[in-house]
Amino acid sequence: MALYSEKLMDHFRHPRNVGSIENADGVGEVGNAKCGDIMKIYLKINNNVVEDAKFETFGCGSAIASSSMATELIKGKPLGEVKQLTNKAVAEALDGMPPHKMHCSVLAEEAILAALKDYSERTGNAV
C-alpha cells in the first residue's frame, strides 16, 4: 500500500482554494511548533453560510492537502455544520493519511474553528 492516497496526492499537487480573501469575515491561523507547519484559513460568510473559503499553508504535503480538502468540505455549508467538521472527517475525505501525519488534519480543524471564533468576535454572532 502506498504511504499517501491518490486523493491526498491530488490535493497536494493541485490544491483547491489557495490564497487569501480580502476583507474576510473570519481568519484563523494555527501552527504546530514541532513540525513547523503553519495554516491560515480565510472565510467569507453570508447569511450564516460559508460562501467562500481559502487557505495559505506553509508546510508538508499532508498539511497542504488537509487545508485544500477542509476548505472544499466547508464551502456552501451552514456555520453549524462547519463547526462540526473534525480532523477525522478531513483525513477520511483524503482517503486516509499516515498516523504520523494526522496532526496535519488536526491543524485544518483547529484553523477552521479559529476562523469561526474570529468571525464570532468580529460580528458578535454566536457560532
60 is catalytic: no
Yes or no: say if 105 and 90 are a contact pair by the CB < 8 Å rule. yes
Of the candidates 50, 53, 104, 112, the residue annotated as catalytic is: 104
Of the candidates 18, 35, 60, 113, the residue annotated as catalytic is: 35
Handedness of CA 55, 60, 65, 67 (dihedral sign): negative
Catalytic center residues: 35, 104
